[in-house]
Amino acid sequence: MPKVTIDGVMIEVPEGTTILQAARMIGERNKADRHVVPPAMCYYTKLKTSGGYCRTCIVKVSKGSDKDPRPMPKPVASCRTNVMDGMEVQNTTDPALIDARNGVVEFLLINHPLDCPICDQAGECHLQDLSYENGKEASRYEFERRTFDPIDIGETIKLHMTRCILCYRCVKVADQLTDGRSHGVINRGDVSEISTYISNVIENDFSGNMIDVCPVGALTDRTFRFASRVWFTNPQDAHRNCDKCCGKVVLWMKGAEVLRVTGRKDQWGEVEEFICNTCRFEKKDLADWKVEGPRQIDRHSVISQGHYNLERKQALLTTPAPNVPELARNKELKER
Ligand code: SF4
Ligand code: FES
């Protein structure tokens, strides 16, 4: 089995493993080594052919392999480059690579609005985290940014194309989890956009997973929009018997009210098992679910700061729902 060293940490991995997967294996083996894991905005383990679009996962290969130790001449996308025996990789230890990744983030932010204060994804947005770690204070872009009006994709999903970074994850979901391909990215270059034909897949039972895989706030849950900042909610693992999906979800609660239902995400922010639209959008009553306990959010984001324990959970479940003026305001914001 090939051995690879990333930022000085060595691991032996099965043949065919990518550098990104090897780095994640190191991070799973020892949390203290997680710095070796490159960020990934478009790769998604459970979506075939994902990766290779965003370039945030670039790394420097300073030694190709034991057989051919020459370094690779340019940064490579770690999600698309396989490990070779004896390979040496730099993720955080090469200043030129960090500079290149900062450039990638600057490109991603050219059109992305800095509307985190009003965006539902704030607190669980991978681009927000990435900008914090690799972003520059100011943009050098002087041209007019492209903007789009938000589009309702059916009853439950809203597309804010202005925030989209064209990672293609939602396209892969629509392609691989829903029936019939009637969507995609139209045009090319800086006029590329997610086609509104994507609205044709909304009838499908698994289309809501597009919301979970979107790394930014481009696809939002219309049943949750503006209901609460996510860090004010109390996430609980819960399950129900569902004949369409695994029925294992996270309930994002405020008091006894279920504000949002999502799939369960792992430490890399990827959904463990995709859930159906019935569980996601139609089961907002606590009685529909068997609550297992507080969800451990394993991320450096602000949402991991809510340390709920079981006693506190009981207290929260008996807290009255938000007061009437707050609900009225939420309704007003939803209608905007
Ligand atoms: S809408 Fe979201 S998931 Fe789809 S391509 Fe844009 S950023 Fe990616
Ligand atoms: S995660 Fe590798 S190119 Fe996007």
Query: pLDDT band at 216, cuts 50/70/90?
Result: very high
> pLDDT tens for residues 151-189?
888 788 898 999 999 999 998 988 888 776 566 777 777
Give this prediction's pTM.
Answer: 0.85
Contact of 170 with 213, CB cutoff 8 Å: yes
Mean pLDDT of 70-74: 96
pLDDT tens digit sequence for 256-285: 999 999 999 999 999 999 999 999 999 999
C-alpha 266 – ligand 2 centre gap (Å): 18
pLDDT category, 196, cuts 50, 70, 90?
A: low
Of 121, 113, 166, 115, which is closest to residue 262 (Cα–Cα)? 121
Which atom of ligand 2 is least distant from the CA of 52? 3
Residue linked to tokens 């451990």: 296
Query: Rounded distance, CA 257 to CA 317, Å?
Result: 8
* Phi and psi torsions of 11, nearest 5°: -150, 150
Bridge-based pairing of strands 185-186 and 193-194 is antiparallel
Q: Which atom of ligand 2 is nearest to the CA of 57?
A: 2
CA of 211 to the centre of ligand 1 (A): 9
Q: Whose CA is nearest to atom 6 of ligand 1?
A: 164
Quote the pLDDT of residue 324.
46
CB 108 within 8 A of CB 165: yes
Tell which atom from ligand 1 comes closest to the C-alpha of 159: 1
Cβ(52) – ligand 2 distance below 6 Å: yes
Domains defined along the chain, listed by start: 3-106 (3.10.20.740), 109-221 (3.30.70.20), 230-335 (no CATH)
Cα dihedral 17/23/26/28 (nearest 10): -90
Structure tokens at 9: 């940490």
Q: What is the residue type of 255? A: G
